[in-house]
Structure 1
Amino acid sequence: MHMDNITKVAVFCGSSFGNDDSFKLISHSFGALLAENSLTLVYGGGYRGLMGSVAQGVKDNNGHVIGVLPEIFDNDMVKLKSVEDELIIKKDMHERKKQIYDLADAFIILPGGIGTFDEFFKIFTWKQIGYHNKNIAIYNINGFFNTLISFLKECVDKGFLSNKVFDSLIISEDANQIIKDIKEKKVILPSKI
């Protein structure tokens, strides 16, 4: 996929802010960077946490935001402050994830909790088995993902993850490098069949 093909980027991150204020500021700046690069944000919807910060950063810089909510979150508490240009409501979390995966041309992971890890591992698994060949980037803000990266390297060392699959991940603490790499990197993984 060449850079001209990347127009929509899914961002997975926390629906809370964490306990380090820099996460909020950096995620807002990252949203601004997406907008500056004419990349539409596709995310889980709502204004809460880092998810809301990224969306607000896109919105504040005249970018386009697509939110995808499951019915369970289709309420005024979640939609108190609208940051989406388009809001898609799906029946459940599975349909929500599939919609986000289908819409996006690439995926970027920012700090978050188990929901963020669930989304990362699912999309990484799908790449490994050949469901898609879209770029996946880990934006390692303040070294947040260092332990996860070490664990994935241990999986390689112990023979449970191939080097090629691990190396297909884009990992950086530099937002501009992430944007450049998701547009330009092309990795075709060997078939698992």
Structure 2
Amino acid sequence: MRATLSLCVYCGSRSGSEPAYARAAEAVGTLIGRHGWQLVYGGGRAGLMGVVADAALAAGARVVGVIPSTLMERELGHRALHELHVVETMHERKQMMAERADAFLALPGGIGTFEELFEVWTWRQLGYHDKPVGLLNVDGYYDTLLDFLGQTQQRGFVAQAQRDLLQVDADPEPLLQRLEALARLATAPDDYRRI
């Protein structure tokens, strides 16, 4: 892991119906800056993506965006970032974001956010990476999803160990602290992991 934690945030390119979503995105961006971390995200200025990026920049964080060329106009590519990588495909976007990250966090969003969350969570449980994955359940947004995940366990499709790989909280500060601790543990020498 890099000396500075690099947190990949997935969230909506829309703001959603509740002001709580934007407040949470702003809080996450601010915390990233206060902790001296780097934000990696989808590179847009629209919706929650823009809110988290602007808050991180305002708090002094380094911000890296990755956006496909076809979405530069739709998601209003954010040109005030430290790095804005314009790639050809969504696959390239997700791969670069994952490679630049030490941990992942999903905020409220739509099907793109769901897909990104489930992909990195799946990669984690298959052993393709050992980076922690978090879900910020703002204002109960993910309550029904979490209920459904409980059903997948009850019906024998998801093991408890798989479910435990997803860190969930309604409060960004303790969730980010947990992700940081797990990210540092994942890169610690084996002697330290046993302590």
Assess same fold via TM > 0.5.
Answer: yes
| Aligned residue in 2 for 1:42 | 40
- Give the equivalent residue in structure 2 for 1:174: 171
Q: Distance in 1 between matches of 2:163 and 2:172?
A: 20
Tell me the secondary structure at the aligned position of residue 113 of structure 2: helix
C-alpha displacement of 1:76: 8.7
Counterpart mapping for 1:99-118 below 5 A: 99-118=96-115
Q: Report the alpha carbon displacement of residue 74 of structure 1 after superposing the two structures with TM.
A: 3.0
Q: Is this contact kept in 2: 1:156–1:162, CA < 8 A?
A: yes
CA distance in 2, matches of 1:160, 1:96: 29
Separation in structure 1 between the aligned mates of residue 4 and residue 157 of structure 2, nearest angstrom: 31
Q: Secondary structure at the match of 2:129?
A: coil
Please list every run of 5 or more consecutive structure 2 residues that lacks an aligned counterpart in the other structure. Answer: 187-195
CA distance in 2, matches of 1:95, 1:65: 18
1:169 & 1:36 partners in 2: Cα distance? 24
TM-score, reference length from structure 2: 0.89
Give the conservation status (yes or no) of the 8 Å contact 1:65–1:83. no
Structure 1: runs of 5+ lacking an equivalent:
188-193
Gap change, CA 1:131 and 1:7, over 3 Å in 2: same
3-state secondary structure, aligned to 1:45:
coil
Q: CA deviation at 1:168?
A: 1.5
Alignment match, 1:70? 68
CA distance in 2, matches of 1:77, 1:38: 26
* Cα offsets for 1:45-79 (capped at 9, x unmatched): 02100011000110111111000011112349713
**Number of positions where the alignment pairs a residue of Structure 1 with one of Structure 2:** 184
Alignment of 1:125-136 (within 5 A): 125-136=122-133
1:115 offset after TM fit, Å? Answer: 0.3
Instruction: Please report the TM-score for the alignment, with normalisation by the length of structure 1.
Output: 0.90
Calculate percent identity across the aligned residue pairs: 34
Task: Find the counterpart in structure 2 of residue 32 from structure 1.
Answer: 30
Cα RMSD (Å): 1.7
